[in-house]
Each structure stands twice: as C-alpha cells, then as structure tokens.
Amino acid sequence: MSFMGLDVNVDDIPVIELLPPNEEILLSVKKADLKESGKTPGLYMISLVLESPEQPDKANVFDYLCIPRRDESKMTERMWKLRIQAFLKSFNVDISSLPNISLESVPKEGLPINDLIGKQGWVILEAVTNERSGELENKVKSYVLGASI
C-alpha cells in the first residue's frame, strides 16, 4: 500500500536484526556528537552511533559517554571517567588529537566530533529493552581493552 499516494510501501518493512550479544564484535564510529542531555540539564555527553563494518545490515548501536560535572559523586565521576578511558583505548583514540571544546559553546543540536568518525574498536554488546519503544536494541556492555585492529 502506498503512503499518501506516494510511491512508498509501508506494508512490507524488513525487521532489522540485532548484533549478537555477549560476544566481542568490531564496531566503527558512524556518528559522534557532544550534546547536552535532554533529561538532565547541565549534563553533557558524547553521543555515539556505532555500526558493524562486517554486518552493515544489522541494527546500529548507540552509546553515551557522560562528561563528569563538578557536583557528581566521586564514585559516579570515577565510573564515567573509566568508561571514557575504556572507549578511547578500545578505539585507539589519541586524546591529543581531539579538539578542545568549551561546553558553553555547544549548540542545542549538539556539536559533531568528526575526529572520531571511522575509528574502529572491539566491544561486547548486550540486548536491552528500549524504555520508549519497548523493542530490543543493542547496547555497549563493555569496551574491550587491549584489542588491536
């Protein structure tokens, strides 16, 4: 059936399969943006869209690297820093190659971090239920350290 008389069939939409959970899998950064959280004003994060270069027809993987704020608990700050560090090591990112950014200059729609695009690294995924849609999606369970590509 066409949609609004347009040549768009919305009846036969293929299901996008998830990548396998609990296995090491190579992913590539498709998109990276620094943006403010929609839920928590003043909390900034790097929003990542990751894809499998070996299985591009599978669902994208989304992850968020929170930037610690001065008022976070020491434990939260430590966990967020370790997650950033694990991403950088897994994707072999030299932090000196990344631009210096002032959070005050980040526009509402986010700021692209193009230096991360195309970087590849190994991760272990998990399948979780999306709170909004109720559908299963892949999430980064952990970044694999010590892997080399």
Residues 68-100: tens digit of each pLDDT: 888 889 999 999 999 999 999 999 998 888 777
Identity at 48, one-letter amino acid code: L
Q: What is the pLDDT of residues 2-16, one digit of tens each?
A: 556 667 777 777 788
Query: What percent of the chain stands above pLDDT 70?
Result: 93
Token reading at 5: 């008389």
pTM here is 0.84
**Percent of the chain scoring above 90 in pLDDT:** 56
Query: Any idea of the CA torsion for 89, 32, 46, 113, to the nearest 10 degrees?
Result: 90
At 84, list the tokens.
């950033």
